[in-house]
Structure 1
Amino acid sequence: MIEIKNLHKSYRTGTNALHVLKGIDFSVKEGELVAIMGSSGSGKSTLLNILGMLDEADEGSYTLDDVPIKNLNEKIAAKYRNKFLGFIFQSFNLINYKTALDNVALPLYYQGIGKKERTERAYAYLEKVGLAQWATHLPNELSGGQKQRVAIARALASEPKVLLADEPTGALDTKTSYEVMNLIQEINDEGKTILIVTHEEDIAQMTKRIVHLKDGVIIDDKPVKQVRALAHV
């Protein structure tokens, strides 16, 4: 599903160049649930941005679902993001003046899906995350956990190949974090490929594989015995 080879990325700061990713080799099979860990400055956010087509590598190759991701203009990048990827953010990134239903339906608008089908599909995904009765509520009427569930429903609504989750539990308390991880595990059990960037060891243990980044290189990549979140909820 994801194949990355010899990925390098540097950023210019004045006259200096900061070499952030230093020859990353990384692959993810369909249906995997992978945690990417590393301290601040390890390169995990840069890697996620490249995976999410929000940035491009200087060197190396990135293939997603057999499609080479290279030299994309913004229009093509946006089209591929909409087709292949669903994003879940630490800060939820919901639109405050839109209802939960409208937030979930928004990506479908950009896919050119008609209003009736958008509404039906958005409602179905809100139902999937247990929030159908909150469909007409605005984000400021929802708890942190509910907002993240809306964000997950929005990410799923466009039926992406891969979910990219950037610190999805970072803004939540422990109990709510485990509830969100239980939902993510259920989605993965249905076959969805999911990558989670996290600095929380207990959250990483709820995935099936942990990749450790340090100073722009992968120092460890191994499968783990998955801890089920439901046991802690």
Structure 2
Amino acid sequence: MISIKDLHKSYHMGKNSVHVLKGINFDVKEGEMVSIMGSSGSGKSTLLNILGMLDEADEGSYTLDNVPIKNLNEKIAAKYRNEFLGFIFQSFNLINYKSALDNVALPLYYKGMNRKERTERSMHYLEKVGLAQWSHHLPSELSGGQKQRVAIARALVSDPKVLLADEPTGALDTQTSYEVMELIQGINDAGKTILVVTHEHDIAQMTKRIVNLKDGVIIDDSVVEQVRASAHV
């Protein structure tokens, strides 16, 4: 599903150049659930930005579902993001003046789907995350866990090939974190490919493979025995 070969990325700051990714090789098969770990400055955010088509590598190749991701203008990058990827963010990234239903429907609006279809499909995904009765509530009326569930429904509504979760439990308490991870594990069990960026070891153990980054290189890539979140809920 994802193939990354010899990926390099540098950033220029004034006269200095910082080499952030130093030859990353990384493959993810369809249906895998992989966590990417690393301390601040390890390169994990840069890697996630490249995977999310928000940034481009200087060298190397990135292929997503057999499509080479290279030299994309912003219009095509946005089209590919909407087609291939679902994003879950630490800060939820919900629009405060729109209801939960309208937040979930947003990717479908950009796809040009008519209102009736958008509403039906968005309600279906709100039901999946257990929030159908909260569909007309604003984000300010929801708890942190509920906001993240809305964000997960929004990420799933356009049926993306890959879910990219950036510190999805970072703003949540421990119990709510495990409830959200139980939901994400269920989505993976149904066949969705998921990448989770996290600095929390207990969250990483809830995936099936842990990739450790340090100073722009992968220092460890191990299949692990998955801890089920439901055991903690």
Distance 2:65 2:116 in 1: 30
Q: Which residue in 2 is equivalent to 1:195?
A: 195
Alpha-carbon RMSD: 0.2
* 3-state DSSP of counterpart to 1:196: strand
Deviation at 1:15, TM superposition (A): 0.2
Q: Which residue in 2 is equivalent to 1:137?
A: 137
Q: Aligned pair count?
A: 233
Distance 2:46 2:111 in 1: 27
Runs of 4+ deviating beyond 3 Å: none
What one-letter code is carried by the residue in structure 2 that aligns with 1:179? Answer: E
Q: Which residue in 2 is equivalent to 1:156?
A: 156
Q: Which residue in 2 is equivalent to 1:147?
A: 147
* 3-state DSSP of counterpart to 2:146: helix
Q: Which residue in 2 is equivalent to 1:22?
A: 22
Distance 2:98 2:85 in 1: 22
* 3-state DSSP of counterpart to 1:40: coil
Q: Which residue in 2 is equivalent to 1:225?
A: 225
1:140-177 residue CA offsets vs partner (Å, 9 max, x unmatched): 00000000000000000011000000000000000000
What's the % identity of the aligned pairs? 84
User: What 5-or-longer segments of structure 2 have no aligned partner?
Assistant: none
Distance 2:157 2:92 in 1: 15
TM-score, scaled relative to structure 2: 1.00
* 3-state DSSP of counterpart to 1:178: helix
Q: Which residue in 2 is equivalent to 1:122?
A: 122
Q: Which residue in 2 is equivalent to 1:49?
A: 49
Q: Which residue in 1 is equivalent to 2:76?
A: 76
Residue 58 (str. 1) matches residue 58 (str. 2): yes
Distance 2:99 2:112 in 1: 20
Deviation at 1:26, TM superposition (A): 0.2
Q: Which residue in 2 is equivalent to 1:204?
A: 204
Distance 1:86 1:185 in 2: 15
What one-letter code is carried by the residue in structure 1 that aligns with 2:52? Answer: G
What one-letter code is carried by the residue in structure 1 that aligns with 2:222? Answer: K
What one-letter code is carried by the residue in structure 2 that aligns with 1:48? Answer: L
Q: Which residue in 1 is equivalent to 2:32?
A: 32
Distance 1:186 1:229 in 2: 10
Residue 9 (str. 1) matches residue 9 (str. 2): yes
* 3-state DSSP of counterpart to 2:49: helix
TM-score, scaled relative to structure 1: 1.00
Residue 213 (str. 1) matches residue 213 (str. 2): yes
